[in-house]
Structure 1
């Protein structure tokens, strides 16, 4: 029984999550030759302060990008 864990930033629609789950399940079924009902997919969502790269959270990166894009003066 394949179990796939998928971690996403919050903000995806229900339709997007359903689409990706279906696409991943089809890919696993085709590549491993397993029955669709044996495939498990776990989607975990993370907020901007629960995900970081090199110690900088996504929230901090978003703030820095907004400050850089703000008009000067």
Structure 2
């Protein structure tokens, strides 16, 4: 499989020619420990795509650190009429 998506631009490739479980389906979540410039520290809203959540995983336990951004979040600072 090749994992692509709207990370910065619509044609971005995060992983090429990788093996995923046979039961992987559209809508499943994949975790990447790092995604280069697409990490939260370099993210922006210039492409109007909400930022993903940030989670910590240790010993099988998952903790949400930053919630997923929504489309509504992107427009909250707009004050135009």
After TM superposition, the score normalised by the length of structure 2 is: 0.23
* Larger of the two Rg values belongs to structure: 1
After TM superposition, the score normalised by the length of structure 1 is: 0.25
> Which one has a larger percent helix, Structure 1 or Structure 2?
1
Ranked by relative contact order (alpha carbons within 8 Å, sequence separation 6 or more), the top structure is 1
